[in-house]
């Protein structure tokens, strides 16, 4: 086919115009982002944890016998001393049962003494004397049991501490063995906290810890007294306990405590702001990395370490010198075109 000079000129113009419009279309669809080059930096060896105050020893108390609650000595939050009467049941039935058993024990003892004299004289058979002896032993044991039941109508505190909780009121009927009171020894208290499994190797028994309790606006020093042997099934973290001297009984169970422990010596690593981390539906952590040559952003799977203020450590997935997206990542998807504005 032959083209006229005019038609050839028009086709050339159209071809040039099409070649210029394609890059402009790509540029218009690109997402504007800000980026930064990754560099390693010093990471503090301090381990920061959040925990809850507990009594060093906490006991749950209840009566060994059923009955009606007649008396409660303390209110929640009040101090109670070791051996102090905490509560008492109405004792009438147990008192009468104890007196009746005493009468029966005395009667069988008198009968045994009478038969013993007759047995020596040969007037009573050995089997009758033996049966009377068994009857007295049974009555004596019954009398001791009723005496114990009467004694068990009074409940004493086994330690000096704070009455944390009571689940009964005067006049209520309770069953034997029901936990009714919680008493905690708070001369020393413990902070119970969870530590990630990756940092557990840095914790040792007897290690010193700095404790901050916001409710009291005070700082305390404690020591690690317990390191859990089994990780929590959900969080994969281990429990540690740190003991604190509670002078003045100011620290109370339930308070929140911030714990700082000295870990390994300072190391270097990569820290990024927490807001740069993206989590997928599979709960995997990602960060967007910029490819300067292709002008694209790609999702990079990363493993995270400890938190340091508003930053988080990237253990793997990033290397020093790489460029990450620091703003605009909410509009990104894997492989999308980007325009760097800063």
3-state secondary structure string across 250-313: CCCCCCEEEEEEECCCCEEEEEEEHHHCEECCCCCEEEEEEECCCCEEEEEECEEEEEECCEEE
Split into its structural domains, the chain has a count of 1
Residue 41: its pLDDT value, please?
78
- 140 in a structural domain: no
Q: How far is CA 305 from CA 83, 84, 316, 325, in A?
A: 50, 50, 9, 20
CA 293/CA 223 separation, integer angstroms = 54
- 37 in a structural domain: yes
- The four Cα atoms 88, 92, 94, 97 give a dihedral, to 10 degrees, of 170
Question: 208: which 2 tokens?
Answer: 């010193």
Q: Which residues contact 99 (CB under 8 A, 6 or more apart)?
A: none
Provide the b/e sequence for 216-234 (b: ≥16 CB within 10 Å).
Answer: eeeebebebbeebeebeee
Residue 6: its pLDDT value, please?
44
CA 261/CA 45 separation, integer angstroms = 9
Domain containing 289 equals 29-44+267-340
pLDDT in tens, 145-191: 999 999 999 999 999 989 999 999 999 999 999 999 999 998 899 99
- 36 in a structural domain: yes
- 271 in a structural domain: yes
Q: Which residue's structure tokens are 């620290």?
A: 251
- 272 in a structural domain: yes
For residues 339 and 30, the answer to whether their CB atoms sit within 8 Å is yes
Residue 342: its pLDDT value, please?
65
- 307 in a structural domain: yes
Residue 12: its pLDDT value, please?
44
Q: Which residues contact 139 (CB under 8 A, 6 or more apart)?
A: 101, 104, 105, 107, 108, 109
Residue 201: its pLDDT value, please?
80
- 115 in a structural domain: no
Residue ranges in the chain modelled with pLDDT below 70: 1-28, 44-45, 235, 264-266, 281, 307, 309, 342
- 106 in a structural domain: no
Question: 87: which 2 tokens?
Answer: 């509560």
Residue 28: its pLDDT value, please?
52
CATH number of the domain where residue 297 is located: 2.40.420.20
């Amino acid at each position: 086919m032959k083209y006229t000079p005019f038609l050839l000129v028009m086709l050339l113009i159209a071809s040039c115009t099409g070649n210029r419009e394609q890059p402009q279309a790509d540029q218009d669809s690109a997402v504007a982002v800000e980026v930064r080059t990754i560099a390693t930096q010093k990471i503090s060896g301090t381990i920061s944890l959040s925990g809850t105050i507990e009594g060093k020893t906490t006991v749950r108390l209840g009566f060994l016998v059923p009955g009606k609650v007649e008396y409660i000595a303390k209110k929640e939050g009040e101090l109670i001393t070791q051996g102090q009467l905490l509560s008492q049941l109405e004792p009438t039935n147990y008192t009468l049962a104890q007196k009746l058993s005493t009468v029966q024990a005395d009667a069988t003892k008198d009968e045994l003494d009478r038969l013993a004299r007759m047995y020596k004289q040969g007037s009573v058979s050995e089997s009758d004397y033996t049966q009377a002896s068994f009857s007295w032993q049974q009555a004596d044991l019954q009398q001791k049991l009723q005496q114990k039941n009467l004694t068990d109508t009074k409940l004493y505190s086994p330690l000096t501490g704070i009455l944390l909780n009571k689940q009964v009121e005067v006049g209520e009927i309770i069953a034997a063995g029901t936990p009714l009171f919680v008493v905690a020894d708070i001369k020393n208290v413990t902070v119970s906290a969870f530590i990630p499994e990756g940092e557990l190797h840095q914790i040792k028994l007897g290690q010193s810890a700095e404790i901050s309790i916001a409710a009291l606006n005070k700082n305390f020093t404690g020591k690690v007294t317990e390191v859990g042997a089994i990780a929590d099934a959900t969080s994969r973290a281990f429990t540690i306990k740190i003991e604190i001297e509670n002078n003045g009984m100011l620290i109370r169970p339930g308070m929140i405590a911030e714990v700082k422990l000295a870990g390994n010596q300072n190391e270097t690593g990569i820290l990024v702001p927490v807001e740069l981390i993206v989590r997928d539906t599979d709960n995997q952590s990602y960060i967007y990395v910029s490819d300067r040559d292709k002008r694209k952003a790609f999702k990079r799977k990363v493993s995270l370490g400890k938190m340091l203020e508003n930053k988080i450590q990237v253990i793997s997935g990033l290397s020093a010198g790489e460029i990450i997206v620091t703003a605009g990542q909410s509009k990104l998807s894997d492989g999308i075109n980007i325009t760097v504005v800063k």
